Structure 1
């Protein structure tokens, strides 16, 4: 990063066509990590794994917390996919989170230089947190709010969610978003077995987004979705009796993604970038690259270009 914030965003971000293959980690902030922890772990992502971005997951409702995220990201030289968290309990807390985030994006001079996109999530269509037409209206309003900052807006969700809500206005959401944040659920597929055999499941959803996504940029992101668990738990149970959860399969899933670099590079919309879910088992048990003792579960050096 430069010593001072630039005077404009001109030529600041790389072209979307360069953002394919591995681009970074999902990173949960529900623990409200302090700025030193954020900075240290963001630097680890940037320097040891060549991650461009962290994709925020969960929430921290401490006043002004996103300022800490911005500072840590600036110091680490990493971008942020910011998140308006709806949660799973049907409350309206997301409204306050939205307003606080927008306020910081406008008031912090570094914000637009680290915030690559704002996401509504996680899986609001799937969870039915708002009727699709209302969710689309929120996206449209957010885009208007952030126009001067040149920050695009998207929704993190499944292909299944759009398909199931097709008659209720899901197309309005797909039309409104600037880019596609696609969740992948190969472990939870009824066809799941080992991670090595998961590519057809992933490809099926990607193909739907390519066919219906109006040529928009695609990222595979987030939420127990673009990863493979090393253990099952009360909230992580497969829908196939053949699905195998262990460290070897978690590693193998990363290898499967890595092996399709050329496909990700040439996909419509400027290629497909993928995030690994998630940075640590302390955030989401079983999905982390690091275990709860802070040790890498397996060597991880995914391709960022090909």
Structure 2
């Protein structure tokens, strides 16, 4: 079963419970978005003099120090990039082509890795492609859905690559310690928090941050989850309002978005927030089905959801911790059906040129 389908099956259950509490390669080069006279085409200097800022010119070789390298987190609000599933174990050439597309066509600054590829050297390919294209990486230690201890092997392999690849610390900003590990209960919250702290200690000298990517409900279902919130460096939020039992159309989804966002603002200890797994489906199928009979899944609503986030750019910028940066989930329908910006033939499903500043 497709990993996103399985994730959504779990999301359907999660949101019901929560409410009771309260790729084909791109081939077209169509330039994107609804024409918006207020769209800012000139990016401030702080996005051109630091990595992975828009317009930043990559050096031929990495500098001797990370000092002054990374952009300030306050500049990372609005659209920051794409989730990108790697279960296909894409080749280096494919990674480089797609990362270039994300950077040049959409002004993306990051790729958020989703899923897992256990091919030896795969993360070296990711890191090298990121360096050559000038894009940052949110890496992932994938637990999967079947239990077991494969995550330990993935963790150790990733840590080894982060130290052995001289480019790694210059392109990997964050490591996600699991995608919905709290919801899945792969570890107890306290054990997960301890694992996060241990990973932070292991890669601390690389100045790479560590987080857990999960839903508001996942934190809320156990009081012990506050230990995870305290352990992580930044907050990665799964924001999929289509599955809320009061969902209708994407244009009307802001109260649903704000409901979960407010919980993280109130309980997030002032930490930086990203919408890491974030979008609205263009189709439904078994496992990707709404809890609300009024929820509408089609291409127009997928497009409207991202326009909704654009319309609230100023608010997202104002959120404590440095504003909210959001990823589009996901790059291509060939990676996850219905959520891609590209369809399975490599065509843009709709004009897409989200705001990167406001």
Q: TM-score normalized by structure 1?
A: 0.98
SS of structure 2 residue aligned to 1:289: coil
| Deviation digits for residues 219-243 of structure 1 (CA, Å, limit 9, x no counterpart) | 0012xxx100000122211111111
What does residue 22 of structure 1 align with? Answer: 79
State whether residues 280 and 288 of structure 1, in contact with CA within 8 Å, keep that contact through their aligned partners in structure 2: yes
Distance 2:270 2:61 in 1: 36
| Deviation digits for residues 262-303 of structure 1 (CA, Å, limit 9, x no counterpart) | 011111001110000000000000000000000000000100
- Runs of 4+ aligned residues of structure 1 deviating over 3 Å after TM superposition are none
What does residue 275 of structure 1 align with? Answer: 327
Pairing partner for 2:268 from 196, 213, 219: 213
SS of structure 2 residue aligned to 1:22: strand
| Deviation digits for residues 51-76 of structure 1 (CA, Å, limit 9, x no counterpart) | 00000000000012100000111111
Distance 2:178 2:312 in 1: 27
What does residue 179 of structure 1 align with? Answer: 234
Displacement after TM superposition at 1:172 (Å): 0.5
1:258-269 maps to which residues of 2 (within 5 A)?
Answer: 258-269=310-321
Distance 2:149 2:300 in 1: 40
What does residue 195 of structure 1 align with? Answer: 250
SS of structure 2 residue aligned to 1:249: helix
Distance 1:145 1:117 in 2: 13
| Deviation digits for residues 70-123 of structure 1 (CA, Å, limit 9, x no counterpart) | 011111100000000001111211000000000000110000000010001210
SS of structure 1 residue aligned to 2:308: helix
Q: Given the alignment of the two structures, is residue 156 of structure 1 paired with residue 208 of structure 2, yes or no?
A: no
Q: Which has the higher contact order (CA 8 A, sep 6+)?
A: 2
What does residue 139 of structure 1 align with? Answer: 196
Displacement after TM superposition at 1:17 (Å): 0.4
What does residue 296 of structure 2 align with? Answer: 244
What does residue 31 of structure 2 align with? Answer: none
SS of structure 2 residue aligned to 1:46: helix
What does residue 50 of structure 1 align with? Answer: 107
What does residue 299 of structure 1 align with? Answer: 351
SS of structure 2 residue aligned to 1:181: strand
Q: Given the alignment of the two structures, is residue 123 of structure 1 paired with residue 175 of structure 2, yes or no?
A: no
What does residue 228 of structure 1 align with? Answer: 280
State whether residues 64 and 100 of structure 1, in contact with CA within 8 Å, keep that contact through their aligned partners in structure 2: no
Distance 2:140 2:252 in 1: 31
State whether residues 53 and 78 of structure 1, in contact with CA within 8 Å, keep that contact through their aligned partners in structure 2: yes
Distance 2:63 2:292 in 1: 51
C-alpha RMSD over aligned residues = 0.6
| Deviation digits for residues 9-64 of structure 1 (CA, Å, limit 9, x no counterpart) | 00000100000000000000100000000000000000000000000000000012
Distance 2:143 2:63 in 1: 33
What does residue 2 of structure 1 align with? Answer: 59
Unaligned stretches of 5+ residues in structure 2? 1-57
SS of structure 1 residue aligned to 2:198: helix
Unaligned stretches of 5+ residues in structure 1? none
